[in-house]
Amino acid sequence: MAALGETEGTNIILAALPQLEYSFGKLAAAGYEKTSERTGYPPSLGSYNCIAWAADDAHHFMWPAPDLEWPFWSPRIESRAAFVAAFKWLGYRVCNNSRVEFWFHKVALYELAGSPKHMARQLRDGTWTSKCGGAEDITHYTLDALESYGPSPAKGEYGRAEIYMKRFILVSWAVQFLQWLEWKLESAWPHLGFLIWRKRQ
């Protein structure tokens, strides 16, 4: 991809997504790559958000708010405990660092003033993938690339990565298979899939 700020011998795209770079002051310096197009918000077809993306799910828009998708096993409360509970049943356990561990997949939860704002998922090479709201997916080379403290709406308000969770790689594969199966069933019989998402309204 040709990019305005491309430097010789590297693939760092400095000016591909000026809107995101403006919102997240450290993003350009940290380096990132765009990995998808914009998806928008529900009810746009194919919309999903950072929480679903962190959970390896590109088919749902997960947030613990009324009328939005949220796993039935977690309370619909915008709190760290609810997010940890949602990911616990996907096989994740809280850990204390973001370092790459071969046998584990990791996710990070960003919080601002104690309120969850964003999640990112670690890739095998140690970089992170994020879905930024209704905007594009990006791979950012550091976790603090999305660190932001407002003021909204001009600047992002993700806060910083406060909680890390990891999942054993074999569990990941099993859960990913179940998620794939769930999506296939949900596509074929919409009512079946929504059993998972629509409870606890």
Partner 1 sequence: MLACTLPNIEPEAGDIKEWHEPAPSWAMLHRADIDELKVAERAFARALAAAHRRTTTGSRIQDLKSHFVRLADEWSQETGHISSASDLIGNAKYQQIIQLGWPAIPYLLDDLEHNKRFWFPALAAITGLRPFDSSDASNYQRMTEAWLRWGRRKGLI
Binding site for partner 1 (CB under 8 A): 19-20, 23-24, 38, 40-45, 47, 49-51, 61, 63, 65-70, 78, 115-119, 131-135, 152-154, 156-157, 190, 194, 197-198, 201
Residue 100: how many other CB atoms lie within 10 Å = 13
User: Largest alpha-carbon pair distance within the chain?
Assistant: 53
Minimal distance in Å, beta carbon 156 to partner 1?
A: 6
Instruction: Tokens for 177, please give them.
Output: 């298979």
Minimal distance in Å, beta carbon 173 to partner 1?
A: 26
The smaller minimum CB distance to partner 1, of residues 15 and 170, is found at: 15
Minimal distance in Å, beta carbon 171 to partner 1?
A: 25
Query: Which distant-in-sequence residues (6+ apart) come within 8 Å of 147 by Cβ?
Result: 24, 26, 110, 158, 159, 160, 161
What Å distances lie between residue 113 and 69, 80, 81, 162, 169, CA to CA?
24, 11, 14, 11, 32
The smaller minimum CB distance to partner 1, of residues 77 and 174, is found at: 77
Minimal distance in Å, beta carbon 119 to partner 1?
A: 8
Amino acid letter, 188 = A
The smaller minimum CB distance to partner 1, of residues 51 and 175, is found at: 51
The smaller minimum CB distance to partner 1, of residues 40 and 162, is found at: 40
